[in-house]
């Protein structure tokens, strides 16, 4: 069983390593991609949505930019097809479980600009999902233990101070070593979790628009009225590495226009 788990984790690490890019200097930078004010962070579902972009860079012909509009779905579209290898309840598979994605990891990962192709029987996707929740629990448990130890003994105040560490009795020193090991282990787990999280988050993404800016440094598109939800507008370089991401929400006009009733107290 341990050997099987080790091979599974190794396989996932290899999978993510292949898809991780190492960001060199990009021909077009985020500040050179100027999104017009027609696109706001929050809009109502009764308004037409437009994308208007200007690129303040003359290298578009040599270095095209990929434009991708994504809708974040509440659930994984293939959730019902996941088999018995899934170790957690399907009820847990909601976009709210993703959490905040590590930006550095996201910007160094090659992202897809095409319709996703999933593995046979969703085996790889199941491995990613299982590992995501396994790492989440491991990190949470270790942080809880580490916090409790530090709250009682304040080990953080003696890190790197051999004189103070030497004053610890044997039992406390063993706890200090445990705390130090937890710190190291948690840091390593977080690195893996950040990679797994990016891939897990992608299972909730539905591509709506896929375009290329490769001739003129402007881009315009009318999207029409979008349904209520969360959206991501992404700009990627020719290596499919993220240059810029703009997130926005479409909210229900009828809900947005309802103002809270003000209450007054008579003195």
pLDDT (tens digit per residue) in 140-165: 999 999 999 999 999 999 999 999 99
Give the range among 31-40, 53-62, 66-75, 190-199 with minimum mean pLDDT. 53-62
* CB 182 within 8 Å of CB 156: no
Contacts for 217 with CB less than 8 Å, ≥ 6 apart: 54, 55, 56, 57, 58, 60
pLDDT of 217: 87
pLDDT of 235: 95
Q: Quick check: 193 pLDDT over 60?
A: yes
Please work out, in degrees rounded to the nearest 5, the angle formed at the alpha carbon of residue 246 by the alpha carbons of 242 and 250: 140
Give residue for tokens 């950040």: 194
How far is the C-alpha of 250 from the C-alpha of 43, rounded, in Å? 5
Closest C-alpha among 54, 39, 124, 46 to residue 86: 124
Neighbours of 204 (CB within 10 A): 21
Residue 196 banded pLDDT, cuts 50, 70, 90: very high
Residue 259 banded pLDDT, cuts 50, 70, 90: low
Q: How is residue 98 written in tokens?
A: 């993703």
Exposed e or buried b per residue across 95-124, where buried means at least 16 C-beta atoms within 10 angstroms of its C-beta: beebeeebeebbbbbebeeeeeeeeeebee
Residue 216 banded pLDDT, cuts 50, 70, 90: confident
The residue length of the chain stands at 267
Of 38 and 182, the structure prediction assigns the larger pLDDT to: 182
Q: Quick check: 198 pLDDT over 60?
A: yes
pLDDT of 215: 84
Residue 33 banded pLDDT, cuts 50, 70, 90: very high
pTM above threshold 0.85: no
Contacts for 135 with CB less than 8 Å, ≥ 6 apart: 189, 192, 193, 196
Give the range among 55-59, 147-151, 184-188 with minimum mean pLDDT. 55-59
**Strand-pair category, 33-35 with 49-55:** antiparallel
Q: Quick check: 261 pLDDT over 50?
A: no
Residue 18 banded pLDDT, cuts 50, 70, 90: very low
How far is the C-alpha of 31 from the C-alpha of 67, rounded, in Å? 16
pLDDT of 203: 97
């Amino acid at each position: 069983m341990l050997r099987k788990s080790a091979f599974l984790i190794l396989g996932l690490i290899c999978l993510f390593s292949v898809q991780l890019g190492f960001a060199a200097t990009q021909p077009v930078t985020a500040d050179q991609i100027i999104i017009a004010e027609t696109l706001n962070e929050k809009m109502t579902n009764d308004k037409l949505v437009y994308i208007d972009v200007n690129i303040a860079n003359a290298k578009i012909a040599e270095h095209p930019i990929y434009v991708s509009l994504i809708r974040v779905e509440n659930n994984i579209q293939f959730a019902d097809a996941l088999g018995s290898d899934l170790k957690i309840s399907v009820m847990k598979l909601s976009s709210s479980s993703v959490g905040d994605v590590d930006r550095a990891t996201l910007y160094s990962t090659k992202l897809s600009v095409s319709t996703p192709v999933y593995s046979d029987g969703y085996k790889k996707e199941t491995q990613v999902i299982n590992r995501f929740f396994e790492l989440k629990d491991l990190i949470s448990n270790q942080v809880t233990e580490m916090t409790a130890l530090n709250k009682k003994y304040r080990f953080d105040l003696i890190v790197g101070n051999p004189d103070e560490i030497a004053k610890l009795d044997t039992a406390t020193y063993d706890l200090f070593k445990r705390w130090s090991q937890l710190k190291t282990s948690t840091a390593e787990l977080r690195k893996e979790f950040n990679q797994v999280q990016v891939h897990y988050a992608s299972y909730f993404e539905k591509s709506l628009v896929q375009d290329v800016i490769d001739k003129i440094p402007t881009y315009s598109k009318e999207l029409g009225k979008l349904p209520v939800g969360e959206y991501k507008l992404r700009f990627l370089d020719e290596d499919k590495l993220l240059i810029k991401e703009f997130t926005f929400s479409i909210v229900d006009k009828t809900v947005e226009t309802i103002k809270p009733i003000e209450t007054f107290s008579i003195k």
